[in-house]
Amino acid sequence: MNEPAAMNEYAVNLDSYPAYIYDLAGLEAHAAEIRAALPDTEIFYAAKANPDAEILRTLAPHVDGIEVSSGGELTHVRATLPNSRIAFGGPGKTTEELALAHHLNVDRIHVESPRELSRLPGPASVLLRANLPLKTLDAALTMSGPFGMDEPGLDECAGRIAETPGIDLRGIHVHLASGLDAPAMLDLAAQIRDWALPWLEAHGVNDPELNLGGGMAVDYTSPDTRFDWETYGKGLPESPALRIEPGRALTAYHGWYVTDVLDVKTTRGETYVILRGGTHHLRTPVTKGHDQPFKVLTANDPESRATLVGQLCTPKDVFARDVLVPHLSPGDVIAFTMAGAYAWNISHHDFLMHPKPTFHYRR
């Protein structure tokens, strides 16, 4: 694994900023740990968290497959990992995407509506995505609304599948919330199982599968507090066949966005540190409404408060507000950590046309 000191040294010696650094050695060790904690559960990595090809290749030996949410992700994952098992989910799949899934040998389709089912070419192995009225404790994001189907929609789909040769109902897919800790996830899993097993049995599904989704908590205010995979693995039931599809909790910890200070100024009593680049390269703090965790690599001893901003002409371009920092000058280097998931790939890169970051992979 890359020791923090080695990452620091690498980051301060880069030729140019901003830059993304992916710690592939750390990612590999983390994925192996998760794999070991969940020996009986299939793990599909949710590519939308970070579809970088090197990340996919690093994860591949430690996961059972990849979950994709669009034809674009599907094409990319199939090209990057030709032999991987793929599950295809997401609302609003087009007829072209469904045909592509068939063509590229997708392992499971997560059907989101009766209309989508009617457009699905066979043969296909299907999980129906259920939108269940379950209690989720303390979720950061609740995935209800347009996702999946309520009981009448599920019943309608099961009825149609029974009349459609080549379409095989294999189980239920659920992704109900994100930001849950292990006990809350287990509580949710038990509720899902209690609902799904009788329903699947009533619809004649033998060897049912449950895909419990992703959403394992990542705490940006406490980078060392990780999701408790041990507890989660020990608490999951042995049957039926279980699959999960984590994204953020797998890759978030293994990316850094590193940049340097361009200017420091105090205006009307507030100190701003202006950094090269901006939240159009790392949108995570804006979308999540948090201070992105960071390390100042070229100075020590936090001594005063400042707001860390980028080069964008908008007051929303804030990485971290009113945080303790050392005395900073132009040229100092800052690494925003926890930038390995929903970071570069969700950002609005073209806004203001700044140079794009360079990408570096530490093995």
- Residues between 138 and 167 with contacts to ligand PLP, criterion CB under 6 A: none
- Dist. CA 106–CA 210, nearest whole Å: 17
- Residues between 200 and 239 with contacts to ligand PLP, criterion CB under 6 A: 213-216
Q: Which of 175, 276, 281, 283 is in the footprint of ligand PLP by CB under 6 A?
A: 175
| Six token digits for residue 13 | 């010696």
Q: Would you tell me how many other CB atoms lie within 10 Å of the CB of residue 303?
A: 10
| 71 lines the binding site for ligand PLP (CB under 6 A) | no
Task: Specify the pairing of strand 294-296 against strand 255-267.
Answer: unpaired
User: What SS3 class is residue 170?
Assistant: strand
Tell which residue, 178, 318, 160, has the closest CA to residue 248. 178
Based on CB atoms, which residue is closest to ligand PLP, 129 or 276? 129
Helix axes 95-103, 71-80, angle to 10 degrees: 20
Based on CB atoms, which residue is closest to ligand PLP, 7 or 74? 74
| 47 lines the binding site for ligand PLP (CB under 6 A) | no
Based on CB atoms, which residue is closest to ligand PLP, 48 or 280? 48
| 178 lines the binding site for ligand PLP (CB under 6 A) | yes
Q: Which of 248, 276, 280, 362 is in the footprint of ligand PLP by CB under 6 A?
A: 248
CB of 25 to ligand PLP, least distance (A): 22
Amino acid at 295: K
Q: How many residues bind ligand PLP (CB under 6 A)?
A: 16
- Residues between 83 and 142 with contacts to ligand PLP, criterion CB under 6 A: 89
| 296 lines the binding site for ligand PLP (CB under 6 A) | no
- Dist. CA 212–CA 199, nearest whole Å: 16
CB of 195 to ligand PLP, least distance (A): 18
Based on CB atoms, which residue is closest to ligand PLP, 178 or 347? 178
Cα maximum dimension of the chain:
71
- Dist. CA 283–CA 243, nearest whole Å: 30
| R_g over Cα of the chain | 22
| 245 lines the binding site for ligand PLP (CB under 6 A) | yes
Q: Which of 30, 35, 48, 276 is in the footprint of ligand PLP by CB under 6 A?
A: 48
| 317 lines the binding site for ligand PLP (CB under 6 A) | no
Burial state string for 106-116 with b = 16 or more CB within 10 A and e = fewer than 16: bbbbbbbbbeb
User: What SS3 class is residue 324?
Assistant: strand
| 247 lines the binding site for ligand PLP (CB under 6 A) | yes
CB of 226 to ligand PLP, least distance (A): 13
Catalytic residues: 313
- Dist. CA 360–CA 363, nearest whole Å: 10
Residue ranges in contact with ligand PLP by CB under 6 A: 46, 48-49, 67, 89, 175, 178, 213-216, 245-249
